[in-house]
Amino acid sequence: MNEEHSRELYDRALSVLPGGVNSAVRAAIEPYPFFVRKGEGGHVVDADGNRYIDWVMGLGPLLLGHDLPEPVQAGIQRKASEGPMYGTPTEVEVDLAEFVVRHVPSVEKIRFVNSGTEATTSAVRLARGYTGRNKIVVMQGGYHGAQESTLVEGDAENPRPSSAGIPQSFSEHTLPVPFNDEEAIREVFEKHGDDIAAVLTEPILGNYGIVYPEDGYHEFLREITDDHGALLIFDEVITGFRVGGLGCAQSEFGVTPDLTTFGKIVGGGFPVGAIGGRAEIIEQFAPTGDVFQAGTFSGHPVTMAAGLETLKFAAENDVYDHVNDLGDRLRRGLTDIVADQAPSYTVTGTDSMFKVIFTREGPGKDELDGQCEAGSRQDPDCPRYEYSPKNAADVKNADTERWRRLFWGRMKEQGIFLSQNQFECQFVSYGHTEEDVDRTLEAYKNAL
């Protein structure tokens, strides 16, 4: 594979950008990342003309793939041609807010910001301001962006910053617990109940190999936060408008959080974040309340138009059927391949999210025969269920070096673009086809 141009660009980038990139994860590709020239449908073409089937999809925002349907393109271009932004409100912000309020159960009011990180930062400040409490509970292996309150590792007894540059005293207010562990949550509430402002969790961990909640876990979180006067915040930056369609993961689980953070799809491929929730809480944001929150670019008209037209297109077309059907086809195919060739790998995901991770030796194809449907690891009656990861510790076994060799190296050679490390999930878009899925399965078979 000729990668001369990418290499030259990387050399130039290294002398002006730290690590040659503008977001840390992009540099994980060795010996250097390929530089993309353009996207087409479910594919990207790099600076040297190599074509890849793209399962990264911008790390999640591109529900429709790279070719935006005509109304989405027209909406974006119209807004950009009218002057990009004004510092005063526009109709399209109200249109998108109304759309989200109509479709997402927890959202009565919403504020738009510019990234998922900004959304979770503001949501945490809002929860603290609203409750008058300091601490937040987060899940080990969860990710809420590059922000001070959540870049925390360790456990509730011993939280510490996971990045240089964050004072230890900040991380003392963040209590990380294992996902799917009700006892751990009970313990932190027993100890710190009066000072817990919120439990902040992704409904499905999407930044740590894809970990699904066990039955009843979210109901439990809802109940215990209510009992203690704390807020429940779902970070739907990944799952929002992807899992559970336009109602988001909260409608799939039937659990309504107090606040929801959004990003990615709601901006149709442009920089975005949002905090939605009960009106009474959202109104604590300035100017109606005294939790300060502001942004020059917030509610940017081009982003709002891209988000609105994307969601309208999804509402009026077979977008979710298409991406979820292809997601099923991929997961089933992968589950068969893994059972046959590599039972120590686990296929995770739901709807249009998928990932293959290294866990531990599970049942092979013969042992499974007839006992459960391929791809049904989330069915507790399936013998494979026991092998699906339940928390970050299960995923941590995942051998990142092995992943790099097997998937990144061997899949890339075959023209398949997978996410840059063992932990980030992969996405199906409306631009993908059955042929893309079948070619990808063939490549996994060869790689494994």
Where on the chain is the footprint of ligand PMP (CB under 6 A)? 59, 115-117, 120, 143-145, 202, 206-207, 235, 237-238, 263
Smallest separation, CB 28 to ligand PMP (Å): 14
Q: Is 38 a catalytic residue?
A: no
Least distance to ligand PMP, CB of residue 428, Å? 17
Using the minimum distance from each CB to ligand PMP, give the nearer residue, 374 or 425. Answer: 425
Angle among Cα 191, 197, 199 to the nearest 5 degrees reads 80
Q: With respect to ligand PMP, which residue has the nearer C-beta, 264 or 384?
A: 264
Q: Minimum Å distance from CB 430 to ligand PMP? A: 20
Nearer to ligand PMP, 19 or 380 (CB): 19
Give CB contacts under 8 A, 24+ apart, made by 211-217: 211/141, 211/179, 211/180, 211/348, 211/389, 211/390, 211/391, 211/392, 211/394, 211/395, 212/348, 212/350, 212/378, 212/388, 213/179, 213/180, 213/253, 214/180, 214/390, 215/380, 217/180, 217/182
Q: Which residue is nearest to ligand PMP (CB)?
A: 116
Cβ–Cβ < 8 Å for 85, 297: yes
Catalytic residue status for 328: no
Which residue, 263 or 349, is less far from ligand PMP as judged by CB? 263
Token representation of residue 333: 């195919």
Residue 435: CB minimum distance to ligand PMP, A: 28
Exactly one of 235, 328, 351, 394 is catalytic; which is it?
Answer: 235
Whether 143 is a known active-site residue: answer yes
Query: Residue 93 or 236: which CB sits closer to ligand PMP?
Result: 236
DSSP category for residue 239: T
Minimum CB separation of residue 104 from ligand PMP in Å reads 16
Buried b (16+ CB within 10 A) or exposed e, 9-45: bbeebeeeeeebbeeeeebbbeebbbbbeebebbbbb
Residue 3 vs 202, nearer CB to ligand PMP: 202
Rounded to a whole number of angstroms, the minimum distance from the CB of residue 40 to ligand PMP is 24
DSSP 111-153: EEESSHHHHHHHHHHHHHHHHT--EEEEETT----S-TTT-EE
Strand partners, 235: 261
| Distance separating alpha carbons of residues 108 and 259, to the nearest angstrom | 10
Q: How far is the CB of 182 from ligand PMP (least distance, A)?
A: 22
The active-site residue out of 135, 264, 355, 390 is 264
Residue 392, both tokens: 């970050």
Q: Which two tokens stand for residue 252?
A: 């799939």
Q: Count of residues for the chain? A: 448
Catalytic site residue from 143, 320, 345, 430:
143
Q: Residues 272-284, buried b or exposed e (16+ Cβ, 10 A)?
A: bbbbbbbeebbeb
Any idea what DSSP says for residue 22?
S
Q: Specify the residue for token string 């409490």.
A: 133
Of 9 and 113, which has the nearer Cβ to ligand PMP? 113
Catalytic residue numbers read 143, 235, 264
